[in-house]
Amino acid sequence: MSATKSPEKGGGGGVNSNRRIEHMFEQNQLSAMDFEAMSDEGLIEALRAVHGAAAAAQAAEVFAVRELYRRHRAASAEPGPGGVRAGEFAAAEAAVGLFVDEGTAAALIDIGLVLEEALPRTRVAFAAGRIDLAKVRVIVDSTRALAKEVVDALEPRLLEAAARTNPARLRQAARRWANRLDPAGTQRRRERRQEDRDVRIRAVQDSMAVFDGLLPAPGAQTVAMRLREMSLQVCANDPRTMPQRRADALVALADGSGRLCCRCGRGERCPKAGAPVEPPRRPLIQIGIAADTLLDMREAPAFLAGYGPIDAGLARSLAEHASFQVVPEHIDGDATDEAPRRVASEIRAVDGMCRFPGCTIPAAEGQLERSGGGLAVLCSRHGRLKTLADKRKQWRVWRADRDRLQWTAPNGEVHTTVREGARYLFPHSDIELPTVGTAEMQAVSSSTGPTYVGDNTSSRARRESTEPRPSSADRRTDRNAPITAFTADRPTGEELLYPLDGHIPLHRQLARIAPENDIPDDSSTQHR
């Protein structure tokens, strides 16, 4: 695909129009442009000029966060157990300042470093707004693991192609040229790329999630063929589509049953009946739901740990095989190393997730850290950041009250986090909930009382529970008792502004920046 410019036909445009748009961008007046007065050609020129100005702003953002990282690397390394890894919290500082996730900030840092170290022409074109972040990412990805002389020959051609095509076609051309210019490096690039293998789960709407990953091609094909084999284990009258069968087969692999059960509804008359199927293992998940919703008295959302809010009907179905733990609204006592495990789980229940601004790591995966006379849940990465704050270096953290934890960033900005889990355990505490002018809708936010924690765990974990499961009569008596909720949707970099989802950092030290990719130190896991 290619494009050429046509002469402007009235309505204002061309070079003067471009300069006017760039000036308006500098003055933050783009919304005041009179698009209705422009011709079609003028609108296209305006789009190009505005997009170029936005690309230049993206470049400035990349260069700024790269410089922040470089300064942190020079000043913040503290070796040893629990020490701060060089530069690792530059992404945290940038993410908090921009209200983006740390994975996105780390990707911006990585791209800035690659441009500075290996792609000077791309850096200049990006700074001038001639190419945008999406195309810069393609060039960065396509030149990784190439010899310097190949990159020097390939970069100018990629920039020429970027000026006349979209990112998808640019990626195709880059792969073709790289393989032709460096055929001997194919194995080297493959071996290097295999180090980036990963599996990701991302929450989407309506109690669904996207499950994807990056695997070596033979392994991916092995999974694909196994799922297809399982999808054909049912009879022709099974009502599911092939995509639905593959999805169900993946879950069957994970739950240990290893076989897809037919849903034709014909029972023993099904030709596939009688095939041996292992009983599925109980899922290692935690769910939370208000007791009156569990009893079908209202339809408040529930929470699934590691995912986020799910509808009440699904939560009631999951709760049929759950074990429970009582969690009071106001937790008394302190969880030390000798304190009962129950107290620690109560703190995790009300915190819900890591208490660092913007972090969505579930509380069950975090560790308890002392803060301002109490305890709060932090993931391993932000536990190290708090260690830095305790030494009065760069960050500061203190507890404003029972609910609020306040963080002061190195630039002096104060960010406050609250007990997210409590917003679902005790809905009346969610004071930021918008009101709707009907009694039925407002009733959803009026529940009070003690809390039950629903925990769908393995049989071994259930035997370790310190609280017996309440009887049906008990649950009928305590109508106001909610059940716990942990976690929230994990944000990604899929926004139009940051087309960085799935970016694999070229600099390995940045691969652990995202909290979900952090490997806890042995010293931190001892306090969980």
Q: Which two tokens stand for residue 429?
A: 């505490």
Asked whether 353 and 305 are in contact (CB, 8 A), the reply is no
Q: Which two tokens stand for residue 371?
A: 């803060």
Q: How far apart are CA 363 and CA 460, in angstroms?
A: 21
Asked whether 475 and 451 are in contact (CB, 8 A), the reply is no
Residue environment code for 95-107, b if the CB has 16+ CB neighbours within 10 A, otherwise e: bbbbebbbbbbbb
Longest CA–CA span in the chain (Å) reads 80
Per residue of the chain (528 residues), give pLDDT as tens. 434 443 343 344 445 555 554 554 555 566 667 788 888 888 888 888 888 888 999 999 999 999 999 888 877 555 444 444 656 788 889 999 988 888 889 899 999 999 999 999 999 999 999 999 999 999 998 898 888 999 999 999 999 999 999 998 999 899 889 888 888 777 777 788 888 888 888 777 888 888 888 888 788 888 888 998 899 889 989 999 998 999 999 998 888 888 888 999 988 889 888 777 777 776 667 777 777 777 888 787 777 776 777 788 888 888 887 777 767 776 544 444 444 566 788 888 888 889 999 888 888 888 888 876 688 999 988 988 888 777 766 788 888 888 889 999 988 899 999 988 887 777 777 777 776 654 444 333 333 333 344 443 333 333 333 333 433 334 333 333 333 333 333 434 445 566 666 666 666 666 666 666 676 665 444 444
Burial class (CB in 10 A: 0-12, 13-18, 19+), 247: middle
What is the number of H-type helices and E-type strands within the chain? 20, 12
Closest by alpha carbon to 504, among 514, 496, 519? 514
Q: How far apart are CA 474 and CA 417, in angstroms?
A: 34
pTM: 0.68
Beta strands (DSSP E) in 238-290 are: 285-288
Q: How far apart are CA 378 and CA 384, in angstroms?
A: 9
Structure letter (DSSP) for residue 278:
P
Q: How far apart are CA 297 and CA 303, in angstroms?
A: 17
Centre a 10 Å sphere on the Cβ of residue 262 and count the other Cβ atoms it contains. 21
Q: How far apart are CA 518 and CA 524, in angstroms?
A: 12
Q: Is the dihedral of CA 29, 31, 37, 40 positive or negative?
A: positive
Structure letter (DSSP) for residue 377:
E
Residue type, 494: E
